[in-house]
């Protein structure tokens, strides 16, 4: 049984005061909506400066604080970087790896992603590896090859134990921040494809346990349909995660599934 995993990606947004207000509102609204945080995993991936305050607000609340990037070395002469050891030390539970914005603007490669996944798992940080095709690759019909290549290189030397701790987020680039969502059928087709690539390398038993998310303009009005898809176990949410009310609606995608039963 794969537990739903809903992740917010704030990107480079929010000042400290806003993040504290968001954290407090999130705790209160999830409680008011009767969301059972034992039935759904929730993480908020934030800029580093917000982590300490949010860790205090979420203490004993079952809401994880995550990072949006990290280096793969534990320490050293890497000015401006944050290491897995530093994140673990703060109690950071997950980290987005290889987000398309990092691949595009900071030349992040799939080879670096493979090193980051290993380092994250070693530090007890759940890696969320992002893969997805460009609009060009989608329109030319090469989208499966593009995603398979990214996946294979990013998972080079990743062991069975490590893949079981890794989450894969399928995020078509043409749907990120564009308001254009992949149809639930397209998203599920690709989530199933990602699972089949994992199965080829690690076997079906392992692939069936890996959490696969969809990301790309997820909103309160499309979440229920996306989450009803057979191979989609969660979502990675950018824009719509910045408003607490919208994010709570996304976390509470189906009160029958994530609601408290009492």
Paired strand residues for 131: 170
CA nearest neighbour of 87 among 123, 53, 112: 123
Cβ of residue 241: shortest distance to ligand PEP, in angstroms? 7
Cβ-contact 230, 185 below 8 angstroms: no
Cβ-contact 200, 151 below 8 angstroms: no
- Establish whether 99 is a catalytic residue: yes
Q: Which residue ranges make up the site for ligand PEP (CB under 6 A)? A: 9, 11, 171, 176-177, 215-218, 236-240
Residue with tokens 């996304």: 250
Looking at residue 3, the DSSP 8-state letter turns out to be P
The residue with its CB nearest to ligand PEP is 238
The two structure tokens encoding residue 205:
């038993």
DSSP per-residue string spanning 28-91: HHHHHTTB-TTTSEEEEE--GGGHHHHHHHTTTTTEEEEES---SSSSSS-TT---HHHHHHTT
Show the beta-strand stretches assigned E in 10-125. 41-45, 63-67, 94-97
Q: Which residue out of 93, 108, 162, 171 is catalytically annotated? A: 171
The two structure tokens encoding residue 238:
């950018």
Cβ of residue 104: shortest distance to ligand PEP, in angstroms? 12
Q: Would you name the residues annotated as active-site residues?
A: 99, 171
């Amino acid at each position: 049984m794969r537990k739903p995993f809903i992740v917010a990606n704030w990107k480079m947004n929010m000042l400290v005061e806003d993040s504290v207000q968001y954290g407090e509102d999130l705790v209160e609204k999830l409680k008011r909506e009767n969301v059972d945080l034992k039935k759904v995993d929730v993480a908020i991936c934030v800029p580093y400066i917000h982590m300490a305050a949010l860790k205090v607000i979420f203490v004993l609340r079952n809401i994880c604080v995550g990072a949006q990037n990290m280096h793969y070395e534990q320490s050293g002469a890497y000015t401006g970087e944050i290491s897995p050891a530093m994140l673990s030390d703060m109690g950071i539970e997950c980290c987005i790896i290889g987000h398309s914005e990092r691949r595009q603007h900071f030349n992040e490669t799939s080879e670096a992603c493979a090193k980051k996944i290993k380092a994250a798992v070693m530090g007890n940080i759940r890696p969320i590896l992002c893969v997805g095709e460009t609009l060009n690759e989608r329109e030319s019909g090469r989208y499966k090859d593009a995603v398979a290549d990214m996946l294979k290189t990013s998972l080079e030397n990743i062991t069975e134990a490590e893949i079981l701790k890794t989450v894969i987020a399928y995020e078509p680039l043409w749907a990120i921040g564009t308001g254009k969502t992949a149809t639930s059928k397209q998203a599920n087709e690709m989530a199933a494809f990602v699972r089949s690539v994992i199965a080829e390398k690690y076997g079906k038993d392992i692939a069936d346990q890996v959490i696969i998310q969809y990301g790309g303009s997820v909103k309160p009005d499309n979440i229920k349909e996306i989450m009803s898809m057979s191979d989609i176990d969660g979502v990675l949410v950018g824009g719509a995660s910045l408003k607490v009310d919208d994010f709570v609606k996304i976390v509470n995608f189906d009160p029958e599934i994530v609601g408290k039963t009492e």
